Amino acid sequence: MSFPTLINTKPVFRAYAVLTAVLAVIGLSGDTWVSSLGAQLQPAFLVLHPTAASPFGQYVVPRLAGVVLLTAALIALAFARLEDAEARRHSLNRFAIAHVVGGILFSGISSALLTPMLPTIIVWAPLVVGIVLSSFAIVNAQAQPSGHTSVDVLRSRYEAQIREAARREERARLARVLHDAVKQQLFAIQTAAATVEARLETDQSGARAAAGTVRASAHEALVEMETLIDQLQTAPMENSGFEDALRRQCDALGYRTGATVTLTIGALPPSTALVPGAYEALYRFAQEALHNVGRHARARTVKVHFGVRAGRLELWIADDGAGFVPDEAPSGMGRRNMEARVQELGGTCTITSARGSGTTVMCTLPLGARSRLRRVGGALAWAAISGCAGFLLYWAGGVNDQGRPAYYFGVEFLKVFGIAVSIGVVLIVIGGLVRAAARFDARLLRALNRHADLDRHR
Amino acid sequence: MPISIAIVDDHRVVGRSLQAYLESFPDLKLVGIATTGEEMLERLDEWRPQVVLQDLLLPGGIDGIETTQRLLARAPDVRVVALTASTDEARMMGVLRAGATGYVRKDAEPETLLAAVRAVARGRTFIDPSIGHRVLRTDTSDDLTPRELDVLRHVALGKSNKDIAVALDIIEETVKTHVRHVLANLGAENRAQAAVRALARGVVSPEDLAAD
């Protein structure tokens, strides 16, 4: 048994939006050359709505119809932007029902109440559109009878499986860190404590040295625990959080392997210049790379650098360890995941290594996806476009029956509008100041913490 | 004369704290710490340890099992105690097959390690009693005679053939025959593996091992 294919609802919504938008422009434009149809409809509505005093001018009916059509066009456009096909199909169903119900009401009211009658095509148009949309909805419903799994259901199951695999992988990684690092450190603490006991009576300086080992190992275990907690953290990371987490990772690697790990941080991008999730991806990348250094490299020195260079955010980790031949090494799930995550964000990953000459892994992410300048520019462009559109309407709208421009809303309206705009500007300025103050505060706090840290370790 | 010990462990802190601990006892002497299996093999002639504490998971080059194999191939008199944080049974049987006569987990008390070092230096077998809780009662086959079970119990406790002969009041030659049968029946290649099998059968309990 074969099922009819699913209709893609995206072009349906798009076509609907374009058609209604064109009709809306015709309606809204009053008595210009495109509006002869709108002008013809006018007498029918005079019965219901005397328009002499209307601020919309004498073409109130086509203009109101234009507003309704424009709203419908925008709603359809919003539905067309839904990426989830399942949700889009549900939206089409509801959209169709709304048209059928609204269409019945409209055609009933207009044929019963309006004299002279509206043209037949206008009276029935909404209902016909509703029926056409419903037929699409019915075809889609048949293409996906209950019990049959659609492509979308399969895909969402597949995605759920991938998520589950990622969760398992994460658990395995945590177990590895607990085993490779924390367990060893606790064993060292236990042994050193036993040493203190064994030497307490006979060898005081030896006992004191062992107590020092207990303390140092406990500190190292704490740093390692910190990195584990970082990994479990779900809150999105910002510049400062990322920096601290990366530093802890580097410290932990140094403690674990005895290698000298240096972290240098270059110019940092404004957080708005990065796509969402960029820091998480970078952190996972660093974590995987540092973990591999600890497990396989036997490095003496490890250099980690993070910063902006040539318009891209760069993170590289270079060690002087054993190295490997990248084509021969099995590409583990951890490495594949970390590469996929970076590539999803438009970044690149490269691994440079040869046996005996260390390994360098580098990851770059594009910047300026949404820089502040571009966002302000975009907003200004939108303002300019809507201003032009408003002026066009004003110019094309003609005058109403009191001799005023058709879209003249009165001086009061302009006052209220002006006050609203000023309040908005003030709020934006205050918000900006508060954010800047908070950033300064955070930076100060971090600097203080670092100094306190240095003091503690001196 | 103190027992000379070498440590092979890639974890810096573990090596250092073990050194400090073992050197607290006058009958033990630490001769070297290696962070890789290769380093241990390189320094073998220089250090001449009686006992090697061998970590099983070593990053990069050869692992603990292979190090043990090569070590014993070159110096059969060395006693190897596997010291590991892993609880993987296959790996445990692997290192015992390679010839280690001691097995201690890193969650054991330091005194257990001490006991293991002293036991293997005397030529006995030492299996960490706490692994009994993991391998316990996984094997319920019943193909040993009561006398063979007695022998197995003594083998698991790390006794030598002579000790067993005295304890069971039989001649040493008979003990040897029993041990051969027991090993063959259990599919064990040596006494250390037989001790693990004994734990799995419940012939000895972890408490018995700990009490010794």
Q: What is the mean pLDDT of residues A120-140?
A: 85
Region of A315 on the Ramachandran plot (φ > 0 left; ψ -120 to 50 alpha; else beta): beta
**Range in A182-191, A236-245, B5-14 the model is least confident about:** A236-245
Q: How confident is the model at residue A82 (pLDDT cuts 50, 70, 90)?
A: confident
- The token pair that represents A233 in the structure block: 């953290």
pLDDT of residue A47: 46
Query: pLDDT-based confidence at A151, cuts 50/70/90?
Result: low
Instruction: For residue A176, give the chain B residue with the closest CA.
Output: B86
Confidence of residue B71 (pLDDT cuts 50, 70, 90): very high
B 30-69 residues with CB below 8 A of A?
A: 35-36, 57, 59-61
**CA atoms within a 13 Å half-sphere pointing along the CA-CB vector of A433:** 6
Return the residue in A176, A184, A256, A292 with the most chain B beta carbons within 10 A, the one to mutate for interface testing: A184
By C-alpha distance, the chain A residue nearest B16 is A188
Q: Quick one: closest CA in A to B63, which residue?
A: A296
In the chain, the amino acid numbered A156 is S
Q: How many C-beta atoms surround the C-beta of residue A163 within 10 A?
A: 10
**Is the pTM value of this prediction over 0.80?**
no
Q: Which residues contact A294 (CB under 8 A, 6 or more apart)?
A: A180, A253, A256, A257, B59
Contacts of A194 in chain B (CB under 8 A): 21, 109-111
Strand arrangement of the beta sheet that strand B126-127 belongs to: B28-34, B3-8, B51-55, B79-84, B102-105, B126-127
Q: Is B25 on the interface with A (CB under 8 A)?
A: yes
Query: Residues A224, A227, A229, CA angle at the centre, nearest 5°?
Result: 110
Q: What's the pLDDT tens digit per position in B11-65?
A: 888 888 899 999 899 999 999 999 889 999 999 999 999 999 999 888 777 888 8
Q: How confident is the model at residue A2 (pLDDT cuts 50, 70, 90)?
A: very low
Nearest to A198 among B21, B106, B109 (CB): B21
DSSP A403: S
pLDDT tens-digit profile of A251-273?
Answer: 888 888 888 999 998 888 776 67
| Residue A1 pLDDT level (bands cut at 50, 70, 90) | very low
pLDDT at A218 over 80: yes
CB-based contacts of A301: which residues, under 8 Å, 6+ apart? A259, A260, A261, A262, A319, A320
Q: Which candidate from B24, B35, B36 shows the least CB-CB separation from A198?
A: B24
Tell me: pLDDT of B8 over 90: yes
Shortest Cα–Cα distance, B138 to chain A (Å): 25
Tens of pLDDT, residue by residue over A31-81, are 655 455 555 655 555 544 444 445 555 666 677 778 888 889 999 988 888
**pLDDT of the residue at A27:** 75
Residue B27 pLDDT: 92
Predicted pLDDT at A239: 67
Q: Which residue in B17, B23, B60 is closest to A217 by CB distance?
A: B17
Multiple choice CATH, A258-370, 3.40.50.10490, 3.30.565.10, 3.40.50.360, 3.30.1330.10: 3.30.565.10
**Which among A213, A294, A322 has CB closest to B16?**
A213
d(CA B183, CA B200): 14
Average pLDDT, integer, range A158-187: 80
Q: B111 CB near a chain A CB, below 8 Å? A: yes
- Which of A190, A199, A257 is opposite residue B24, by nearest beta carbon? A199
**Residue B1 pLDDT > 60, yes or no?**
yes
Q: Give per-residue pLDDT as tens, B119-128.
A: 999 888 888 8
Q: B21 CB near a chain A CB, below 8 Å?
A: yes
Structure-model confidence comparison of residues A359 and B200, the more confident one: A359
| Angle subtended at Cα B192 by Cα B141 and Cα B182, rounded to the nearest 5 degrees | 40
Residue-wise pLDDT for A346-360, tens only, equals 788 888 888 888 899
Query: Cβ distance A439 to A271 under 8 Å?
Result: no
Look at B60 and A213 and tell me if their CB atoms are within 8 Å.
no
d(CA B83, CA B57): 10
The predicted structure's pLDDT at residue A442 = 67
User: Greater confidence, B104 or A382?
Assistant: B104
Contact of B123 with chain A, judged by CB distance below 8 Å, is answered with no
pLDDT for B205 beyond 60: yes
What is the average pLDDT across A84-94? Answer: 84
Model confidence at A370: pLDDT above 60: no
CB contact under 8 A, B21 and A185: no
Mutate to test the interface with A, among B21, B33, B53 (most CBs of A within 10 A): B21
Show residues of chain B in contact with A297, CB under 8 Å: 59-60
- Chain B residue numbers touching A255 (CB-CB < 8 A): 13
CB contacts of B24 in chain A (<8 Å) are: 195, 198-199, 203, 206
What pLDDT was estimated at residue A50? 46
A187: closest chain B residue by CA: B106
DSSP of A248-271, one letter per residue?
A: HHHHHHHHHH--EEEEEE-PPPPG
Of the candidates B131, B59, B64, which has an alpha carbon nearest to the alpha carbon of residue B99?
B64
Partner residue opposite A184 with nearest CB, options B36, B59, B85: B85
Give the whole-angstrom CA distance, residue B55 versus residue B62: 11
**Which residue in chain A has the smallest CA separation from B14?**
A188
Pairing of strands A359-366, A348-353: antiparallel
Percentage of residues in chain A having pLDDT higher than 90? 10
Residue identified by tokens 């421009």 is: A405
What are the chain B neighbours of A259 within 8 Å (beta carbons)? none
B85 vs A contacts (CB less than 8 Å):
179, 183-184, 187
Does any CB of chain A come closer than 8 Å to the CB of residue B27?
A: no
- pLDDT at position A302: 94
Q: Which of B12, B17, B56 to mutate to test the interface with A (most CBs of A within 10 A)?
A: B17
pLDDT at A262: 92
Would you state the pLDDT for residue B34?
92
Structure tokens at A163: 């998520």
Among the ranges given (A245-254, A259-268, A431-440, B136-145), the one the predictor scored with the smallest mean pLDDT? B136-145
- The residues spanned by each domain of chain A are 9-148, 258-370, 382-457
- Most B CBs within 10 Å, among A187, A261, A295, A353, to test the B interface: A187
Quickly state the pLDDT bin for B5 (edges 50, 70, 90).
very high
Across chain B, what does the average pLDDT equal? 84
pLDDT band at A297 (very low <50, low <70, confident <90, very high): confident
Nearest CA in chain A to B25: A198
CA angle A160, A161, A167 (to 5 degrees): 90
Question: Nearest by CB to B20, which of A210, A297, A298?
Answer: A210
Contacts of B107 in chain A (CB under 8 A): 183, 187
pLDDT for residue B53:
94
* Yes or no, beta carbons of B24 and A203 under 8 Å apart: yes
Q: How many CB pairs under 8 A join A and B?
A: 81
> Which band of pLDDT confidence, cut at 50, 70 and 90, is reported for residue A15?
very high
Assess B108–A contact: CB distance below 8 Å, yes or no. no
B24 in reach of chain A (CB within 8 A): yes
How confident is residue A147, by pLDDT bands cut at 50, 70 and 90?
Answer: very low
Interface residues of A toward B, Cβ cutoff 8 Å, are 179-180, 183-185, 187-192, 194-195, 198-199, 203, 206, 209-210, 213, 216-217, 220, 255-258, 294-298, 321-322
B137 touches chain A (CB under 8 A): no
Spell out the domains of chain B, with CATH numbers in brackets. Answer: 3-123 (3.40.50.2300), 134-211 (1.10.10.10)
pLDDT at A139: 83
- Tokens 């406990």 correspond to A218
Neighbour-count burial of B141, counting CB atoms closer than 10 A to its CB (0-12 exposed, 13-18 middle, 19+ buried)? exposed
Interchain pair A195, B24: CB under 8 A: yes
Mean pLDDT of B90-110: 85
